[in-house]
Amino acid sequence: MADGQEKAIDVDKLLKNKLKLVSVGSLEGAISKVVSDMVGEDYKCTIGEVKYTLFSGADFHIKIELSYNPEQ
């Protein structure tokens, strides 16, 4: 920092992983929508096992594939 003082790290905030509050289904839906909007085709997203990290993160595998709807 310019004044020589370092900002204190809020450890409580860092350890409270808010990602645990987000449903996997909501993430899948949001990612599907973004990809579909970007590509112009209907895509679906599947998220594998979620492993939450200690410091407010998460690791998971995302599978994105074209949705097949014969009625379209």
Write down the pLDDT at residue 2.
57
Please determine, for residue 70, whether its predicted confidence score (pLDDT) is greater than 70. Answer: no
In a domain, 33, yes or no: yes
Establish if 4 belongs to a structural domain: no
In angstroms, the CA 2 to CA 59 distance is 35
Question: pLDDT per residue over 11-40, tens digit each?
Answer: 777 778 888 889 999 999 999 999 999 999
H or E element, residue 30: helix 24-39
Q: What domain range is 44 assigned to?
A: 11-66
Predicted pLDDT at 28: 97
Query: 28 lies in a domain?
Result: yes
The total number of structural domains that make up the chain:
1
Q: Provide mean pLDDT across the span 46-65.
A: 92
Q: How confident is the model at residue 72 (pLDDT cuts 50, 70, 90)?
A: low
Given this model, what pLDDT does residue 39 score? 95
